[in-house]
Structure 1
Amino acid sequence: MRLRIPLLFTLLCCKSLLFSQTTVQNPSKNDFSEALTLLASDSLQGRKANGRGGSLAASYISSKMHSYKLKAYNDFEDYFQIFAIEEHTVKKTSLQIKKRNHKTISLSPDKDFEITPTTNSIQKKQAEVVFASYGLDVSKENYDDYKNLDVKNKIVVVLSGFPGDQDTTSSFYKKFKNIFPEENDLEETKLKTAISKGAIALIIIETRENFKPQSKENEVFHSLENTTATSIPIFRISKKTAENLFSKSNIPLKTELTSTPLKKVKINFSIELKHETSYVGNVLGFIPGKDTTKTIIVGAHYDHLGIKNDSIYNGADDNASGTSGMLALAKKWSESNIKPESNILFAAWTAEEMGLLGSEYFVQNFDFKKQKILLAINMDMISRSAPEDKTHRILSIGTQKGSDNLKEIANFSNNKLAKPFSLDLWETDGHSGSDYASFTTKGIPVMTFFSGFHEDYHTPRDKVSKVDLDKIQDVLFIVNNSILKFIENQHN
């Protein structure tokens, strides 16, 4: 025993010394405020991915990575991973409805409907129509609007929203709001469900009274170059238009809904697109680890919406906040002179606003045979608070279902704060609101950080003057400590 006690003491001391040497200082405001101010300045013109502002932002981020002595990923020149995207401009679209024994009704894209097309032009198509209530199939809730419906090669008409969405006190509302907290996720689910059932187009009846269709002609949509379309077009019409078109076709715009084929109705549509190619780039720099076959990613998208109608969309919160935070973490890890157990890749994704294209391109071209991604951290909008967050201390952290270890890490890191956040820990499964989705589709563990939607989201009012620097600093504290704890857990 006398020999074992000194040996055990020595081992414990060595272990303690090992962990003390892997401490990386948490970023302060001085580490990110300058980058945030520059990225969200008028001079960067809203950082549109394929615009001049996007190029200027990428060059700035590259210069910062160089100054932090990060290694260029895969020896890319100047840290850039360049790739092509396609712009699809809607030149002409038509939507016509024919009811049996009635003349054909042509709808106008200027006032009757709006469209989100696929990446390909579509010659005139005619198909039968099926009404599928809210267009949802949620097996875990034993709810299926498509039960006993055959929609293959047909057009599906659904209502916007979800059951009980007009009554915030109802059990249906609470149940479905928990499943679909964001409107974008809800619509994405409806689209994917319609595709999986074999539909060729989706028509959404917008039940909001203030919905006014906006013409999408000459509007630009984007995709990765040479992407095979796996989507279908979405047409949105107002409640009033739907009542005029389908009043005699058993679409009850009320609480009690019955999914049903519309046997007396046929719809034809066409979409003409113009295609152009442009080039954009992710900016990637990393610190090599002891094990170079494994990687932790710390990422944020740097692009925003650019200039619209002579207004600059500065995107201070979305997402100069996350990008400047990523750079601050890169700075601190570089200054620590610590060689981490695995690679730490600091990534500035582009074209997130165009459909997560930058992170998607990265994942599609990642060599999973040679390397393994242990964890992908995503920071998107970490400097503001939602209107209902009166104390400005709610932080949303998303992980995949079953990632209890990451939730524990989030709680552990949060509790180290002098003033902990109220954490909203949610599961990313089925959601695609930011770049984390490019990794979850590959089964890669994620932690995605978000501090809340606000009234300035995607408006020219999202400016530096409104960001909360203290909140960013505390979010980065949690991110940094989560990385450290994750690495510690990996090697215990």
Structure 2
Amino acid sequence: MRFKSITAALCLGLAIPATTFAQSVQVPKPVAKALDKVKPNDVSAHIAYLADDKLLGRKPGTPGYQMAVDYVTGQFQKMKVAPAGENGTYLQTVRIRTATTNPDAALTLTSNKDGKAQQLQNGQDFILYPNPGKPQVEFSASELVFAGYGISAPDLKYDDYANIDAKGKVVVVLRGVPEGFPSTVASYSMDMQTILNTAAEHGATGVLVASTNPKGKLPDFSRGMSSVMGADGGVAASRSYHNNINLLGMLPYAMLQQMLTAVGQDAQQLASTIHSGKPASTPLPFSISGTYGSSYNDIESYNVVGKIEGSDPVLKNEYVVHSAHLDHIGVGKPIDGDSIYNGAHDNASGVASLLEIANVYTRIKAKPKRSILIVMVTAEELGLLGSAYFAKYPTVPANQIVADVNTDMPTLIAPLLAVVPLGAAHSSLEKEVNAASSYLKLDVEADPEPEQNRFVRSDQYSFVTQGVPALHIKYGNKTADGKNNLDEQVKVWREKYYHKPQDNFEGGVFDFEAAKKYVQLNFLIGYLVAQDADRPSWKEGDFFGSRFGRN
């Protein structure tokens, strides 16, 4: 139990019942006064600017995104938030490469039994991801092996790689998880980067992801896939690249069935078997060879980083991060006559929340013991790229970042009565969440929509994969009428507004009193972490702590 260390660290009279660790907390008067001064109109004003048509959807690399950067840095300067980017500025340069696969990509499937070769049709029999690190790739015949879901999790008593040799081979995998995997573990397991990392760890040189839907179509990669490039020209961060994987592609159901028929298996039956938790990996009597090229478009964008320096002479060298993505998806396909994807909720609302969190700190004379970083990241919509780059190459010592509290599209369209702290259950951050929520009279609930895989779909996940305990506060289901079905209202909202031009400030649906409470909650979580003498820690035996936790 850590309540004693929190009490000692705060030294401010926190009342924490020993029987329910941090279920209630008495906030010091100066902090409580600063929290009370959060104004819904200030949140509204930030969103109104960031979601204005003149910013043209804040797409990275555009003048509209630069306007958003300038707005945030201007607010930081006004609040006297210190710069914490590169070279004494508020900015961290993020070099984004969007790669597309050239149309002449060619694959040949050869039977290892009779040597018969089959020229596969690009776009019909396969589609390849571009390679951001190698403009031209040629690979000779590599044997294929079916590797189930591509999961290696002996601690969960499931391992698709246990009885196969994948070294030097191309693995054919399905997207999914065995039944019974917890939702956050399932999200991690299905993430493409996890699949690639696992394949590479077992010596594979390629990954082909096959569909189990007989009527499914191959995806359209014509818009390309984005990665972050390092100053040395290498790939620094990507959700669809591994340096040791030369081939990443997708196969339709018909190709999967053809491969499995050759070993006396049926795709649907095999999918059912592995879903039940029984690995069914097997060598396939085929080899694959081919060549493909990738074309590149490179731009520069920026993360914006501000700092509130801590007060403790030692702990001020450690950092609690509040993160939110500044970008959206720009101008696109018109819907009902509007082509500007303003992103008022996604994620101007999150940026506004962080600006007001910083503003709370400006009102507090006695700063917390640890320092606070306010980090607005770029290219979240391109695959969590800005946060991945910052988490891996932060502008402060990486091992001094102790926690991340992320804010992404809180969807504040109704009174905020309950919250879902995505990721908090994996670490001691759960205790600060409970304490802050109790103070603000908010219920804490389980994720009402685990199928949305939200844990790996926002920037807190970038910090998790670097070993930093992290969380993301979303709305809960509690409603004032007692029906407790807010998720139904959100689903209706999402269908109309999410990633559409209709996500505007003008004419949008907002509850700014809920936004005020959301700011207060996220501030207080970070504040409690910053005051605690102990660093946040992964829970003993936790799935993510065991994979990414720092020694």
Superposition TM-score, scaled by structure 1 size? 0.82
Closer/same/farther in 2, CA of residues 77 and 307 from structure 1, 3 Å limit: farther
In terms of mean alpha carbon deviation, does 291-300 or 356-365 score higher? 356-365
Structure 1 residue 144, shift from structure 2 partner:
1.3
For 1:222-275, what per-residue CA distance to the aligned partner results, in whole angstroms no more than 9, with x for missing partners?
222323553634312222342245433444211235211012x11123220123
Q: Which residue of 2 aligns with 1:80?
A: 91
Gaps of 5+ in 1: 1-10, 164-171
**Residue 239 (structure 2) aligns with:** none
The SS at the match of 2:443 is coil
Residue equivalent to 1:374: 402
C-alpha distance 65-408 of structure 1, shift in aligned 2 (>3 A):
same
- Pick the aligned partner of 1:95 from 107, 110, 113: 107
Q: Pick from 470, 476, 482 the counterpart of residue 525 of structure 2.
A: 482
Provide the alpha-carbon RMSD of the alignment: 3.4
What is residue 259 of structure 1 aligned with on the other side? 281
1:437 and 2:461 aligned: yes
Q: Give the corresponding residue for 1:137.
A: 152
Contact 1:191/1:202 (<8 A) preserved? yes
Q: Which residue of 1 aligns with 2:248?
A: 234
Q: CA–CA distance in 1 between the matches of 2:394 and 2:443?
A: 36
Q: Is the 8 A contact 2:422 2:455 kept in 1?
A: no
Higher alpha-carbon deviation: 112-121 or 406-415: 112-121
| Runs of 4+ off more than 6 Å | 389-392
Structure 2 match to 1:5: none
Structure 1 position 407 matched with structure 2 position 430: yes
- Structure 2: how far apart are the matches of 1:179 and 1:16? 36
Aligned amino acid, residue 219 of structure 2: Q
- The aligned residue for residue 279 of structure 1 is 300
Q: Is 1:44 the counterpart of 2:55 in the alignment?
A: yes
CA positional deviation for 1:129 = 0.3
Give the superposition deviation at 1:147: 1.7
Aligned residues: 461
1:336 CA displacement = 3.2
TM-score (norm 2): 0.74
Partner of 1:154: 169
Find the aligned partners of 1:234 and 1:380 in 2 and give their Cα distance: 30
Say whether residues 1:340 and 2:398 are aligned partners: no
Residue pair 2:319, 2:400 contacting (<8 A) in 1 also: yes
Corresponding residue of 1:326: 354
Per the alignment, residue 168 of structure 1 pairs with none
Tell me, in whole angstroms, the C-alpha distance in 2 between the residues paired with 1:155 and 1:371.
36
User: Do the aligned partners of residues 357 and 134 (structure 1) sit closer, same or farther apart at CA in structure 2, a change above 3 Å counting?
Assistant: closer
Aligned to 1:473: 516
CA distance in 1, matches of 2:397, 2:327: 30
Query: Do the aligned residues in 2 keep the contact of 1:156 with 1:194 (CA within 8 Å)?
Result: yes
Aligned to 1:270: 291
Q: Give 1:114 shift.
A: 2.9
Return 210-219 or 144-153, whichever deviates more: 210-219
Q: Structure 1 residues 335, 15: closer, same or farther in 2, change over 3 A?
A: closer
Q: Which residue identity does 1:111 align to in structure 2?
A: Q
* Paired position in structure 1 for 2:324: 300
Q: Where does residue 210 of structure 2 map in the other structure?
A: 205
Question: Structure 2 CA distance, aligned partners of 1:363 and 1:434?
Answer: 13
Shift of residue 198 of structure 1?
A: 1.3
Cα distance in 2 for partners of 1:450, 1:230 equals: 35
The 1:31/1:422 distance shift into structure 2, 3 A limit, reads farther
1:110 and 2:135 matched: no
Compared with structure 1, are the counterparts of its residues 472 and 313 closer, same or farther at alpha carbon in structure 2 (3 Å cutoff)?
Answer: same
Q: 1:109·1:215 contact (CA, 8 Å) conserved in 2?
A: no
Does the 8 A contact of 2:392 with 2:466 survive in 1?
no
> Is 1:397 the counterpart of 2:422 in the alignment?
yes
Judge conservation of contact 1:90–1:273 (CA < 8 Å) in 2.
yes
Contact 1:85 1:279 in 2 (8 A): yes
Residue 442 of structure 1: CA displacement?
Answer: 3.6
Question: Aligned partner of 2:123: which letter?
Answer: D
1:25 matches 2:38: no
Distance 2:398 2:98 in 1: 33
Say which of 195, 204, 216 aligns to 1:190.
Answer: 195
Letter in 2 for 1:235: G
The aligned residue for residue 238 of structure 2 is none
| Whole-Å separation in 1 of the counterparts to 2:425 and 2:418 | 23
Whether the aligned pair in 2 keeps the contact of 1:22 and 1:338 (CA below 8 Å) is no
Greater strand content: 1
